[in-house]
Structure 1
């Protein structure tokens, strides 16, 4: 049969619901992977679509047996494709080696043998009929009744209430965050809804500014991003990424003046990163940034500027670099 095309419902960034409303919400672990809508027409086949609507089935051949998991019952499932590290945690950097291979079946099969993925399922907007108008709590029951558990897919549970504790647990285990879903929420295809709230666990660290990239458009004449580093155990300033968000217009203007005053001809990072159009500065400015996780190479993921740290010298700024950084 032809299944309806359903765009994934999206969560809005926010904070935990008020304690008085806690019991009205369910809490799921926020996964660091690739969002997929899974189409199972009931004929043994499976079709995976990315959030953009692109057919990415070919990138994940190990998920093809899922097509037979529900027999003849046609369904559309909502989930996330993950690549897991040695500790069983989602590692987006690992997953990137699997993405983009939808039209390269040979390479996809070889990568599947080296870096298998795991699909976590958390909603069912269609099961023999549309379920989008059912409340979340009833859709969750229908999903659990399917008992979808296999070598490369599973249906993790959700907890009702106890949001603060659930968030604390994700932080203690180094997980990306939490998704809060109102129990009475309907499924809104393609909508970024306040009925689903995502909370990303962010870390904060001090960094040393070693360069900047010029802004474009309305930011012309101002820094579009700063290039930052941290000292390793040997004292070398190691590049850990570019930070382009988190400033007000006034803060960006202030930073522009400070960067002009510390302009330098040589790159202060060791080794020098390959960053086209970079302007280097003397490594004198210390700032604090927030970020979600580090890549295996020690680079900051999703960094955002928090503030300048004029109270710290570059020698006093702390780093949390992996032992095998670089």
Structure 2
């Protein structure tokens, strides 16, 4: 059967629904992976398409067996491809070694043997017939009725109500966040909808500023980004570049502090490979928001929160994880 293309429905960043509406929403774990729409024509084959529409099937050969999971029943499913860490959580750094291999099947097979992917399923848009006009609660019931659980795929449960507890649980478990889905919501193909709300667990950490990169255009003469580090056994280890989070006034204030602290010597243990970097004496402490640390020890998705003039680098900034 030739299946129609369906672009994935997208969630809007936001906060938990009001407590009075809590029981009208379902809550699912937000995973750190690659979004995929899964096409099962009912002939034993499977096609995975990324959010862009690109065919990524060959990048994940271990998911090929899913093609026969529903027999001759044609279906279109929505999910996320993960590579799990030792704690069973999606690790985007591990996943990156699997992405982009759709045109290299031999290499994809080698990587699959070392770092197998896992597909998390969370919606069904077609099951013989089009289901996109049905409310989420009915699509979810249909998905769970398929009992799709295998060596490389699963259908995690969704919690109805208790959003505050669900969000707290994802944070305490070190998971990326939560997706809130209104029970009566239809599947809006290709739309970033308010009927789906994504909440990312954010973390904050104190860092030491060791350099900066000048901005361009309207930011000429101002910092486009600051280079930050954290202590590691008495050394200052580079932890990444932070380029967002300032107001105009804050950026101007920071520019003055950076110019006053300029030095010709890189303060980091090992010079970071950053083009156009200017170094400063490591005496400024700032607080940044971030999602997680990469396996290389760099802050992922960092954003500036504030200067911490109350903290001294030698005794108050956080240690390297």
Q: TM-score range by the shorter chain?
A: over 0.9
Correspondence 1:181-260 to 2 at 5 A: 181-232=181-232, 234-260=233-259
Residue number in structure 2 paired with 1:317: 316
**Partners of 2:318 and 2:38 in 1: CA distance:** 42
- Determine if contact 2:39/2:48 at 8 Å carries over to the other structure: yes
State yes or no: 1:69 paired with 2:69: yes
For the residue of structure 2 that corresponds to 1:70, the secondary structure is coil
- Determine if contact 1:16/1:180 at 8 Å carries over to the other structure: yes
**Partners of 1:70 and 1:52 in 2: CA distance:** 26
Q: Which moved more, 1:94-103 or 1:273-282?
A: 273-282
Residue number in structure 1 paired with 2:22: 22
State yes or no: 1:289 paired with 2:288: yes
Residue number in structure 2 paired with 1:280: 279
**Partners of 2:77 and 2:210 in 1: CA distance:** 46
Report deviation, 1:320.
4.2
Correspondence 1:1-326 to 2 at 5 A: 1-232=1-232, 234-322=233-321
Q: Deviations over 1:15-49 (max 9, x none)?
A: 11111110000000010111101111111111111
Q: Which moved more, 1:111-120 or 1:308-317?
A: 308-317
Q: Deviations over 1:109-134 (max 9, x none)?
A: 00000000100000011121211111
- Determine if contact 1:177/1:200 at 8 Å carries over to the other structure: yes
For the residue of structure 2 that corresponds to 1:285, the secondary structure is strand
- Determine if contact 2:26/2:180 at 8 Å carries over to the other structure: yes
Give 4+ residue runs of structure 1 displaced > 4 Å after superposition: none
Q: Deviations over 1:265-303 (max 9, x none)?
A: 121100211111211111111100011111223211111
**Partners of 1:308 and 1:100 in 2: CA distance:** 39
Report deviation, 1:321.
2.2
Give the TM-score, by structure 2 length.
0.98
For the residue of structure 2 that corresponds to 1:288, the secondary structure is strand
**Partners of 1:235 and 1:205 in 2: CA distance:** 18
Q: Which moved more, 1:18-27 or 1:266-275?
A: 266-275
Q: Deviations over 1:136-162 (max 9, x none)?
A: 001000101111111000000000000
Q: Deviations over 1:306-325 (max 9, x none)?
A: 00011111113332423xxx
Q: Deviations over 1:200-251 (max 9, x none)?
A: 111111001111122233323321111100111x210000111111111221
More strand by share: 2
Give the TM-score, by structure 1 length.
0.96
- Determine if contact 2:285/2:317 at 8 Å carries over to the other structure: no
**Partners of 2:286 and 2:95 in 1: CA distance:** 31
